[in-house]
Amino acid sequence: MDYLTSQKLKEEWGKKPCDHPAFEKVYYTGAFLMNYSCTTCGADFTISQKMAIDEMRKLKKAAL
């Protein structure tokens, strides 16, 4: 996802809650910025934050 697209999503979404169902790598002029954005609300996450969310989702899924 382009950085400016991520920022636009964030502006449009506002402060509404989001469960961040999907992430995309964020790029600026073709360079990976070392973070991810939620494809729904544009919230930014570091690589380690994204990994923690992914792991938590796996654990919840396994518990069901």
Q: pLDDT tens digits for 17-46?
A: 999 999 999 999 889 988 999 999 999 999
**Banded pLDDT at 63 (limits 50, 70, 90):** confident
So what's the pLDDT on residue 7? 95
Supply the range of the domain harboring residue 53: 3-63
- Domain count across the chain: 1
So what's the pLDDT on residue 26? 95
Name, in order, each residue with C-beta under 8 angstroms of 11's C-beta and a sequence gap of 6 or more: 42
pTM: 0.86
Secondary structure letter of residue 39 according to DSSP: T
For range 6-18, the mean pLDDT: 96
Secondary structure letter of residue 43 according to DSSP: -
How far does Cα 35 stand from its chain's mean position? 8
So what's the pLDDT on residue 15? 92
